[in-house]
Chains A and B, each alone.
Chain A
Amino acid sequence: EAGVAQSPRYKIIEKRQSVAFWCNPISGHATLYWYQQILGQGPKLLIQFQNNGVVDDSQLPKDRFSAERLKGVDSTLKIQPAKLEDSAVYLCASSLVVKETQYFGPGTRLLVL
């Protein structure tokens, strides 16, 4: 069974630029999550989708971050404009249904200069 796929794996941008990350969940998984993990911290949930609807985006900085999950499969997370404090690893995870075990992708390491 293929795992969660993410791209790109690494991205370096300058502050005020925009960036987008892509995630393809495990086939059949209805729930998709985006997390931000800052060095030395645990992952922090940014947004949770159930199929293509948003379940929780309470910790998403909506003035600069946006996410969508079209057709209930792939998802993209965008940052515009980026700030220095956005430097982190962005992890995508999926689960069969909500409450079930979440499986993580390899993550995208973002460095904002």
Chain B
Amino acid sequence: QKEVEQNSGPLSVPEGAIASLNCTYSDRGSQSFFWYRQYSGKSPELIMFIYSNGDKEDGRFTAQLNKASQYVSLLIRDSQPSDSATYLCAVISGGSNYKLTFGKGTLLTVNP
């Protein structure tokens, strides 16, 4: 069973701080890694994706991937109350059908 693990939280940070969200995965053949944000009662929306080891930055968001450690993270700089949501880590595992497996998500609360 290919698994994606996340700390369910809640993770609480003050406004303006850096929020760090972490994810580990079990399948070494995993190829692509995604972070989705899901507001309460809404559907997931893509924040970032990363394919290669290292960092990828997009505005206030930075995704970090370490395939050797099977670890992917999302950093949110200058956190805003509007960032309060559940963040879902998702991984496309190796194999012919490129199945996307989600973690349970981490609930982030940014306090004004």
Contact = CB atoms under 8 A, between A and B. Distances in A.
Interface residues of B, number: 23
Interface in B58-97: 88, 90, 92, 97
A101 B104 contact: no
A105 B97 CA distance: 21
B98 A103 contact: no
Interface size class of A (residues with CB under 8 A): 20 to 34
A101 B46 contact: yes
B57 to A, nearest CB: 18
A98 interface: yes
A102 B43 contact: no
B100 A45 contact: yes
Given A42-B104, A56-B97, A105-B43, 14 more contacts: A33-B100, A40-B104, A41-B105, A42-B4, A42-B102, A42-B103, A43-B102, A56-B99, A89-B43, A99-B32, A101-B46, A104-B43, A104-B45, A106-B43
Interface of B: 4, 8, 31-32, 34, 42-46, 49, 88, 90, 92, 97-105
